[in-house]
Amino acid sequence: MKCPFCGSEDTQVVDTRANLEANTIRRRRKCLGCGKRFTTYERVDLKMPRLIKKDGSRTEFDRDKLLGSMMVALRKRPVATEEVEASVDRVIERLRSLGEPEVPTTRVGDFVIKELAKLDKIAYIRFASVYRSFESPDDFREALAEVRAAPRRRRK
């Protein structure tokens, strides 16, 4: 494993933890060249379904794009990165469990919006306003009513 800081291939694993829920292994590493530490994740590489966009075009699933869109909605919100990663992993698992070779992006959006509702109500509203193409204040009122009706998540 190359060090992301100095490029040295001489690294040492300091700590290893398995995340059974997400099917990943987290490894904390130390570069023996520069002494800096970094984290790597190992995941099983299973084939993901292709995504069908609204215009009918097809594209490959991109985990980083999914994570990025959730992080935009969660910008400046008090949600831990580990919680976001776990949510992304749950969305991916749900997509895989469908067993379909192609899935509409609207289905992915539905999974994401449910995860955001569990993580943070403000992020849910942000994402919903783009995902559902809000055009009036009434659209926001409806989304707020949905948020108020949902059970509250306890902060750790």
* Whether residues 3 and 74 fall in one domain: no
Range of the domain at 39: 1-45
Question: For residue 130, what pLDDT is reported?
Answer: 82
Question: For residue 9, what pLDDT is reported?
Answer: 94
Which are the contacts of 135, defined by CB distance < 8 A and separation ≥ 6?
none
61-115 confidence digits (pLDDT tens): 999 999 999 999 999 999 999 999 999 999 999 998 898 999 999 999 999 999 9
- In a domain, residue 131? The reply is yes
Residue 132 reports pLDDT greater than 80: no
* Whether residues 17 and 37 fall in one domain: yes
Question: For residue 153, what pLDDT is reported?
Answer: 55
* Whether residues 64 and 110 fall in one domain: yes
* Whether residues 121 and 52 fall in one domain: yes
- In a domain, residue 36? The reply is yes
* Whether residues 103 and 144 fall in one domain: yes
* Whether residues 41 and 51 fall in one domain: no
Question: pTM above 0.85?
Answer: no
> Are 100 and 49 spatial neighbours (Cβ–Cβ below 8 Å)?
yes
Question: Within 10 A of 142 (CB to CB), how many other CB atoms are there?
Answer: 14
* Whether residues 71 and 12 fall in one domain: no
- In a domain, residue 155? The reply is no
> Are 37 and 5 spatial neighbours (Cβ–Cβ below 8 Å)?
no
